[in-house]
Amino acid sequence: MKILVINAGSSSLKYQLIDMDQSEVLAKGNCERIGLDGKITHQANGEKMELETALPTHADAIKMVLKYLTDEKWGVITDVSEISAVGHRVVNGAEIFVEATLMDEEKINTLDGLTEFAPLHNPPAVVGLRACMEVMGKDVPQVTVYDTAFHQDMPATSAVYPIPYEYYEKYGIRRYGAHGTSHGYVAGECAKLLGKKPEELNIVTCHLGNGSSITAVKGGKCLDTSMGFTPLAGVMMGTRCGDIDPAVAMYIMNKEGLTPDQMSDVMNKKSGVFGVSGVSSDFRDLDAGAEAGNERCRLALDMFAYQVTKYIGAYAAAMGGVDAIVFTAGIGENNPMMRTAIAEPLAFLGAKIDEEKNQMRGKAMAISTEDSTVKICVIPTNEELAIAQQTLAVISR
């Protein structure tokens, strides 16, 4: 069975065609600059091609994807009918879509009404969905998979904010979290790696990339997560500030005469390790800067590590103990120095990192010492496979 996974952005559309029998990616690519000049990158059969081509709308992009998937040279299927279903990534389903959902016209309209919960991400997902329905017809199931779904199990003690309760009732303001598909996937893979059932484990999953979030996964379910109403909360990130005293925002707005949108820009795009270092949001640049003696690069890296350590400690306490700590995403999978900086202070919990194993890359493995009572693992995330798995589960019901 083959499932097409779509991740639509405002001017891009990433795709993967996955053979579910082998969990194998048959083809993948990205349509970029949709609505502008248009470009498609497509990888299949061990080769990669790039083509600049007009892509006025997302529907044109989907047509192009289907054309390449069935192409004589670049294709991996002979007919579109071989695609059993399409799984769409959606960032926020609010309290309406609490699990992966088979979509119809009415549900798409409902999702369309949730724009405010993810202004940059939800609208393109709806456009991508409509485009697939238009191009592929009504017979191919279109399933939406939500980044917020895994966090829906969070109890009210984690989700509700200590502001007047009426704002939750009126506007749905609460913690929703993000990266849920990734946290759920790596927690499941961690349990497999340790030969345990998810229900038996308390895991802290650290998704550390441009956007970073930490989740307490107790018995396979989300107990708490660091991102909040929006993905601005939690640990500091590439360009996002994470948790700060909320009064700081009002203070700067008054001093600098900034509008709410301008302040949001400062906190989302000019803060985090970029804001502190003044150099870059990319941890590779910061490592190089710190190595060359740049103290603000050093400070940004030290702050990031400190904050992640603090969250792990807090979640260990919240869960009444921790069996495993998982690192994933760009930094979590590829930056051994950062993993060491985060994990070393956790020796008191029984988490001891093995420096030799910590240098390995590219596969799911434990990087803790034999006598470490808390397993430390690196698990490459695979959100596309997780979306395809959830899509398959929905259409198999």
Q: Which of 37, 60, 147, 354 is catalytic?
A: 147
CA-angle at 308, arms to 314 and 383, nearest 5°: 105
Residues contacting ligand ADP: total by CB under 6 A: 11
Of the candidate spans 1-9, 117-125, 194-202, 330-338, the one that interacts with ligand ADP by CB under 6 A turns out to be 330-338
The residues with which 243 forms a beta bridge, in sequence order, are none
Minimum Å gap between C-beta 283 and ligand ADP is 4
Minimum Å gap between C-beta 41 and ligand ADP is 17
Instruction: Give the residue closest to ligand ADP by C-beta.
Output: 330
With CB under 6 A as the contact rule, the residue among 43, 142, 307, 335 that binds ligand ADP is 335
Of the candidate spans 78-86, 109-117, 127-135, 279-287, the one that interacts with ligand ADP by CB under 6 A turns out to be 279-287
Contact between 68 and ligand ADP (CB under 6 A)? no
Contact between 284 and ligand ADP (CB under 6 A)? yes
Nearer to ligand ADP (CB atom), residue 150 or residue 283: 283
Minimum Å gap between C-beta 265 and ligand ADP is 18
Minimum Å gap between C-beta 285 and ligand ADP is 7
Nearer to ligand ADP (CB atom), residue 174 or residue 179: 179
- Which among 192, 95, 193 has a CA at the least distance from the CA of 146? 95
Nearer to ligand ADP (CB atom), residue 270 or residue 284: 284
Contact of 20 with 392, CB cutoff 8 Å: yes
Cα separation, 84 vs 139, in Å, equals 9
With CB under 6 A as the contact rule, the residue among 74, 97, 283, 304 that binds ligand ADP is 283
Cβ atoms < 10 Å from Cβ of 138: 10
With CB under 6 A as the contact rule, the residue among 83, 222, 290, 331 that binds ligand ADP is 331
Nearer to ligand ADP (CB atom), residue 228 or residue 238: 238
147 included as an active-site residue? yes
What is the distance, to the nearest Å, from the Cα of residue 342 to the centroid of all Cα atoms in its chain? 20
Cα separation, 257 vs 265, in Å, equals 14
Reported as type and span, the H/E element at residue 86 is: strand 83-90
Minimum Å gap between C-beta 210 and ligand ADP is 3
With CB under 6 A as the contact rule, the residue among 70, 210, 309, 369 that binds ligand ADP is 210
SS3 content of the chain, % helix, strand, coil (to 5): 45, 20, 35
Cα separation, 62 vs 34, in Å, equals 11
- Only one residue has tokens 């799911």, namely 364
Cα separation, 330 vs 51, in Å, equals 27
DSSP 20-57: TTTTEEEEEEEEESTTTT-EEEEEETTEEEEEE----S
Of the candidate spans 304-312, 325-333, 343-351, 369-377, the one that interacts with ligand ADP by CB under 6 A turns out to be 325-333
Cα separation, 54 vs 251, in Å, equals 46
> SS3 for 193?
helix
Nearer to ligand ADP (CB atom), residue 221 or residue 296: 296
Q: What is the DSSP letter of 278?
A: S
Nearer to ligand ADP (CB atom), residue 75 or residue 238: 238
Contact between 340 and ligand ADP (CB under 6 A)? no
Parallel/antiparallel/unpaired status of strands 83-90 and 142-146: parallel
Q: What is the footprint of ligand ADP within residues 190-209 (CB under 6 A)?
A: 209
With CB under 6 A as the contact rule, the residue among 9, 75, 228, 330 that binds ligand ADP is 330
Q: Where are the extended beta strands (E) located within the chain?
A: 2-8, 13-19, 24-32, 39-44, 47-52, 83-90, 101-102, 142-146, 202-208, 212-218, 221-225, 324-328, 365-366, 375-378
Nearer to ligand ADP (CB atom), residue 60 or residue 383: 383
DSSP 179-192: -HHHHHHHHHHHHH
With CB under 6 A as the contact rule, the residue among 19, 95, 282, 354 that binds ligand ADP is 282
Of the candidate spans 111-119, 276-284, 303-311, 366-374, the one that interacts with ligand ADP by CB under 6 A turns out to be 276-284
Minimum Å gap between C-beta 379 and ligand ADP is 13
Longest Cα–Cα distance of the chain, Å, equals: 62
Q: What is the footprint of ligand ADP within residues 211-230 (CB under 6 A)?
A: 211
Cα separation, 162 vs 2, in Å, equals 46
Cα separation, 233 vs 125, in Å, equals 23
The catalytic residues are 147
Query: Which residues here bind ligand ADP, judged by CB under 6 A?
Result: 209-211, 282-284, 329-331, 334-335
